Amino acid sequence: MKARELRQLSREELLKELAGHRETLFRLRIRRATGEAATASEFSRLRQEVARILTLLGEQDRAAAGQPGEQGASDNG
């Protein structure tokens, strides 16, 4: 999923997606350990999806707390 599509999901839906991706990564690690074919591109794609979801969850948390995120932050340094 693209970030635009993920932004349309609720927090609960994002958490379900995250859990599903983590489960899939776990299963891929098991497959790799047992000698079955698991391509590096599968790992990369899933890790990127997990990072994308975690980023969106963090943005939602900051917005709920009233803290500025990346878009509202100014560089004073």
pLDDT tens profile 32-76: 888 887 788 889 999 999 999 999 999 999 988 887 655 555 445
pLDDT of residue 38: 72
* pTM as predicted: 0.77
What are the residue ranges spanned by the domains of the chain? 3-65
pLDDT of residue 73: 53
Give Dmax (Cα) for the chain: 52
Give the residue among 27, 50, 23, 51 at the shortest CA–CA distance from 38. Answer: 27
Structural contact between residues 17 and 51, judged by C-beta atoms closer than 8 angstroms: no
pLDDT of residue 2: 81
pLDDT digits (tens, 9 = 90+) for 3-13: 888 889 999 99
CA distance 35 to 29: 10
Pick the CATH number of 3-65 from 3.40.50.10800, 1.10.287.310, 3.40.800.10, 3.40.720.10: 1.10.287.310
CA distance 2 to 9: 11
pLDDT of residue 67: 72
